[in-house]
């Protein structure tokens, strides 16, 4: 029987020019992982904007002081402030933006959701340097591309282990063709080998959302700090808190860095130990026109706990 304990978080948004969080929250998360005796620290993208910058943040995670293994994927933030994907891959020590790693009796498959189709059907990868989607594409229109989908299918099929998938954007409520294809691949793999794919971890939405689709847990991990972002500044924080951080007054910020401890067993038993915090300076979305509901719910300063038996029927 295989069992792995993960410490998961997402959307840290380390970007001092924009947001007030410093590196200390990552120390807190690493300490939680260590105390819980986690085997792997897993993060789902938007970790840092300038990941290639040599200020110790990325290394604090990748080469953490306890030697805990890591799993990660790229969000849009990773690509927005780097010169090229090659430099980013080099900083992370990977050859490609999608890859797999076998650890603790599981196959961790990282997928890359930073692709788009142009109007004429040409596939593009996020080009980097410049905030926001290229050519005005909506980030929700992201795709995998045919080549990656084939790779995902093959990588799951050839795995001798149950698979844990991770990518930046959730797919369970999406109607995008590539996302539906991704779900189809997972479903087919599980029909062939029950329990072959157990979880898909994602981030991006800054929501506390979880769903079981075709016996697979779709765990959309809440942001570490950043709550509801609005294009208009609410200006409810003290001036000294937002000074030097261009977008701090555009969002609500969680007091403590959110993470969860997730225990995964190959028989489909998954246990989530979440956590709850407050809003920094009490500034909740309700104070600037919220709550703002979208298909993944509303902003909440928590990751819910829960227990699932995916294969018990």
Residues at the site binding Fe ion, with contacts judged by CB under 5 A? 11, 46
- CA–CA separation, 230 vs 96, rounded Å? 33
CB of 140 to Fe ion, least distance (A): 13
CB of 185 to Fe ion, least distance (A): 25
Tokens standing for residue 59: 């290394």
Q: What is the DSSP letter of 202?
A: E
Kindly give, in sequence order, each residue whose CB lies less than 8 Å from that of residue 245, ignoring residues fewer than 6 positions away: 16, 17, 18, 19, 20
Q: Which is nearer to Fe ion, 254 or 308 (CB)?
A: 254
Name which of 218, 174, 215, 186 is nearest 199 in CA terms.
218
Name which of 203, 196, 234, 238 is nearest 218 in CA terms.
203
CB of 297 to Fe ion, least distance (A): 16
| DSSP one-letter string for 243-290 | TT-TTGGGEEEBSS---EEEEEETTSEEEEE-EE--BGGG--GGGGT-
- CA–CA separation, 44 vs 8, rounded Å? 8
In the chain, the N- to C-terminal Cα span, in Å, equals 19
Q: Which is nearer to Fe ion, 46 or 50 (CB)?
A: 46
Residue of minimal CB distance from Fe ion? 46
CB of 117 to Fe ion, least distance (A): 22
Q: Which is nearer to Fe ion, 12 or 116 (CB)?
A: 12
Q: Which is nearer to Fe ion, 142 or 155 (CB)?
A: 142
Q: Which is nearer to Fe ion, 11 or 215 (CB)?
A: 11
Kindly give, in sequence order, each residue whose CB lies less than 8 Å from that of residue 90, ignoring residues fewer than 6 positions away: 52
CB of 46 to Fe ion, least distance (A): 4
Q: Which is nearer to Fe ion, 148 or 220 (CB)?
A: 220
CB of 75 to Fe ion, least distance (A): 6
């Amino acid at each position: 029987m295989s069992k792995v304990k993960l410490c998961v978080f997402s959307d840290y948004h380390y970007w001092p020019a924009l947001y007030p969080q410093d590196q200390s929250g990552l120390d807190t998360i690493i300490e939680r992982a260590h105390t819980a005796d986690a085997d792997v620290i897993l993060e789902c993208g938007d970790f840092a904007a300038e990941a290639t910058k040599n200020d110790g943040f990325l290394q604090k995670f990748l080469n953490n002081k306890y030697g805990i293994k890591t799993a990660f994927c790229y969000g849009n933030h990773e690509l927005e402030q780097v010169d090229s994907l090659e430099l980013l891959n080099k900083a992370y020590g990977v050859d490609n933006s999608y890859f797999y790693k076998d650890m603790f009796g599981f196959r961790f498959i990282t997928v890359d959701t930073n692709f788009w189709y142009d109007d004429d059907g040409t596939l593009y990868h996020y080009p980097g340097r410049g905030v926001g989607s290229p050519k005005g594409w909506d980030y929700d229109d992201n795709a995998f591309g045919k080549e990656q989908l084939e790779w995902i299918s093959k990588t799951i099929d050839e795995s001798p282990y149950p698979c844990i998938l991770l990518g930046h954007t959730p797919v369970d409520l999406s109607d995008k063709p590539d996302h539906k294809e991704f779900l189809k691949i997972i479903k087919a793999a599980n029909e062939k080998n029950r329990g072959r794919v157990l979880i898909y971890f994602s981030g991006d939405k800054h929501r506390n959302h979880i769903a079981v689709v075709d016996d697979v847990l779709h765990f959309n991990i809440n942001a570490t700090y950043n709550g509801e972002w609005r294009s208009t500044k609410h200006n409810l924080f003290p001036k000294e808190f937002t000074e030097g951080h261009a977008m701090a007054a555009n969002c609500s910020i969680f007091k403590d860095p959110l993470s969860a401890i997730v225990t995964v067993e190959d028989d489909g038993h998954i246990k989530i130990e979440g956590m709850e915090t407050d809003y920094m300076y009490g500034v909740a979305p309700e104070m600037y026109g919220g709550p703002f509901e979208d298909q993944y719910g509303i902003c909440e300063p928590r990751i819910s706990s829960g227990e699932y038996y995916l294969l018990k029927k």
